[in-house]
Chains A and B, each alone.
Chain A
Amino acid sequence: MTTTLTADIRWSIPTSLSLKEGTNTGQACFTVPSGITVLIGPSGSGKTTLMRMITGLSDITAGKLTLQGQNIAALPAYRRQIGYVPQSPTLFPHMSVRANILYGAKKDTDISFLVNELSLPDLLDRKPSSLSGGEARRVAIARALVSSPRLMLYDEPTSGLDPVKRASTLSLIRTVSRNHNVPAIVSTHLIDDMMPIADYALLMDNQSVVLEGSLEDVLDAPETTEVLGLEDGGSLIAAQITGEDNGLIEVSLGGQPLWLSGASRTTGDHVHMRIRARDVAIAKDRPENISINNCLAVTVQDLKPASTETIVTMLVAETDTVLKARITQKSATALALKPGDACFALIKAVAVWHRED
């Protein structure tokens, strides 16, 4: 993968109106490849600030920003060619949707393909005030793409959307990034959202980029679990579909079947699954007559106490697939778990994403 953006920057933002009262200093040092990069971090961790530094709307105090080999740190925002879709769509209220889309376009730009791609044909002559939130967001995306950006930045594109619209917005981002061959950075505090679209990940905490790497590596890292809180701890597993039955699909992990609900998948497809630690229970013996479909033989690798709970790291038998479970310390004591124990992981729910690559 080619390098899109390298950053080694520091910034400082006043936190109060009175001068010199307090400043938030932040720093980031990372390299983003082509494709889609997700910027993960809790609310207030500085994701929007970092995006504004990259667009040039806020100033950095020191450092270097290199976009496709060009140092852009000294360029004003309007000469950086970076498309920015902020959290609220911010359409120009006095212009039609068409005029909004064409705002950053060169003369005689043909927008028909993009307009169809984003299902906007019927909206072109409307005024922004008559659009729904999702429509406005699609217009904002089209408007940024038409300005021929070298990089797209999406700030929390799924905030305020229901789960169905979230999924469609994300697949749209992936589609347009591919079709127009524009790398993108997408920020979110909802980690589950980004899984189906991201290739690379940056983890942000307390005004700094603390970790970068492939999505899998970043999600597996203990820092991520810690920064995002236990709720989001879990494991990411890649697998291939081996069968279907009654609307469920089957994947195989080291010969053990795992049944997932996932319509419109076909045998042979590659999927990514995220199994959250809180959705995994542990049994010493294989339970019989139980509603949970999925029961995998595992070996306990490690136990880590976390406040009143214990995070148990396990290896699925015959594989190097890691699974995590979050159980109460009481249960951990009752089961007398220790590394090397063979037991069974009961999985209540699995989130599945389909990726073409």
Chain B
Amino acid sequence: MITPAEGQALWLSVKVALVAVTVALPFAVFVAYAFARWSFPFKSFLNVLVHIPLVVPPVVIGYLLLVTTTPTSKFGGWLSDLGLNPSFTWGAAAIASGVMAFPLMVRAVRQAFESQPIALTEIAETLGASRYRRFLTINLPLAVPGILTATVLGFGRAIGEFGATITFAANIPGVTQTLPLALYTAAQSPGGEEAAFRLTLLCLIPAVISLITSEWLTRRHYFRNEQR
């Protein structure tokens, strides 16, 4: 049977991934829209910056997060003055997961915005819709399938996050030990094969649930919009 510690790891993983995706999603939508529709200085530089977590080793991201938020650094000192010290908390795990999932989410949403014909928002503009209203009534609803994809991709990425989390949040059972970290620990311990197997199965649960939910939402959206 599942031990309480393993149950805790499962719950922690889901909490971390949900918080990471929920916080990252609005930013991802904004950044995706900006990249898809606006031109501004340093656009390609910022594009590279957003994609960095996708191409550098996760440990590097975890390390960078650690050194920028440690109380002896400038930014970390400022955070510390506000009473915030994220390192080695479950919040750190959420930040690490969010940062790692962010580029994937931006890509999925950006593609959704880019595939929308500009003519649609142009017509809305001639009908008196301000930029804000055009975004809320045309761009955003039409990007819903892309946003759903981004959510699932981001959730999957966040649940599986390992390198950045272990560096930034450490591997503290009951505090920051998410499923992948618990599995790593079990695999390292002598006689931990059975626990490792159970944790492997546990890892599948959130992944399967998120895939089924996304499939269901996409279908529902599809039927609502196309079938009449």
Contacts and interface: CB of A to CB of B under 8 A. Distances in A.
B119 A86 contact: yes
A283 B126 CA distance: 55
A144 B225 contact: no
Contacts of A38: none
A76 B125 CA distance: 9
Nearest to A104: B127
Interface residues of B, number: 19
A84 B123 CA distance: 7
Contact of B142 (A57, A93, A125, A144): A93
Contacts of B138: 92
Contacts of A129: 226
Contact of B124 (A79, A94, A103, A130): A103
B129 A57 contact: no
Given A127-B226, A127-B228, A94 B128 contact: no
Contacts of A125: 228
A71 interface: no
A78 B226 contact: no
A82 B225 contact: no
Contact of B141 (A79, A83, A86, A94): A94
A88 to B, nearest CB: 8
B127 A103 contact: yes
Classify the secondary structure of B's interface with A.
helix
Given A93-B142, A94-B225, A127-B226, A144 B127 contact: yes
Contact of A83 (B120, B126, B142, B228): B126
Classify the secondary structure of A's interface with B.
loop
Contacts of B193: none
B215 interface: no
A81 interface: yes
A92 B228 contact: no
A83 B126 CA distance: 6
A77 B124 CA distance: 10
Contact of A104 (B117, B119, B129, B141): B129
A83 B125 CA distance: 10
Interface string A220-246: 000000000000000000000000000
Interface in B164-180: none
Contact of B130 (A78, A83, A84, A86): A78
Nearest to A87: B119
Interface string A52-76: 0001110000000000000000001
Nearest to B134: A78
A147 interface: yes
A143 interface: yes
B122 A57 contact: yes
Contacts of A144: 126-127
Contacts of A77: 122, 125-126
Nearest to B144: A94
Contacts of B127: 78, 83, 103-104, 143-144, 147
A326 to B, nearest CB: 40
Interface in B182-228: 225-226, 228
A-B CB proximity, top 10 nearest: A104-B127, A84-B126, A127-B228, A77-B125, A147-B127, A78-B125, A90-B119, A90-B123, A104-B128, A94-B141
Given A55-B126, A78-B130, A86-B123, 16 more contacts: A77-B126, A78-B125, A78-B127, A82-B126, A83-B126, A90-B123, A92-B123, A92-B124, A93-B120, A93-B225, A94-B142, A103-B124, A103-B129, A104-B128, A126-B228, A147-B126
Interface of B: 117, 119-120, 122-130, 137-138, 141-142, 225-226, 228
9 contacts: A57-B125, A78-B130, A81-B128, A90-B123, A94-B225, A104-B127, A104-B129, A127-B225, A127-B226
